[in-house]
Amino acid sequence: MHWLVMTFFLFTQLLIALDTIESAIRMAGVHDLEELLKILKANHMATMVKVKAVRRVAEIYKENSNSVSPDIILSHYREALTSHNDDNPPHSHYLIRGEICSSLAQYASSPNASEALRLAQKQVQLDTHIEVKASCAQALGSFHQNPNEAGKSLLEILEQELRTEAPHEANIKLVMNLVHSLGRLKYRPAFVGLIKVLQSGYPASVKKEAEFAIRNLRSS
């Protein structure tokens, strides 16, 4: 019975500690940016704590984009995308990579847009987890200053996915994001690829998005 009491006590203390850390993340401001980014390097820190730290960094940058340089943020992201590659539970690092990819859209209009674009391109092409690819595909649609570079990467992945004979739910989400982003960018070389989506076995929701994207291309 003693070990059961001790286990419960330690578990309770752990929950309190996690709640304290997450509260600190929520309250963090622009002056805490570097400390938030250091969380990504902490090996002992839980995956969801790191996810929330990335989310808060994006919020801080959005609120202070005129006074915060994205240099240090993107540098930490580059390192984290490389070092967090264990997707097996309990680590599930794909959640961290996916959150980073989603946040890259925040830097699409920044002075460091080219660096953010390169990170998103690399992950959408090379990441082994389809959820991360889907997050990167969605983020790439924000790079209106670099539509040709972003569009080229999106189209390459779309053409690969269209060769999948029996797409799973995750593939459907990826293709939906690819099509949506190509439409946002009005990337005209994607026209044939989008027509192929209409002729594919993907669900009606994906085909409807492809029709919308084609209309965007024709209006550009």
Quote the pLDDT of residue 112: 94
Quote the pLDDT of residue 17: 46
Quote the pLDDT of residue 19: 60
Quote the pLDDT of residue 1: 42
Quote the pLDDT of residue 44: 84
- The amino acid occupying position 190 is A
pTM: 0.87
Per run of 10 residues, the mean pLDDT along the chain (length 220 residues) is: 39 46 84 91 90 94 92 96 90 95 96 96 96 97 96 97 84 96 97 96 95 94
Quote the pLDDT of residue 134: 97
Contacts of 191 (CB under 8 A, 6+ apart): 214, 217
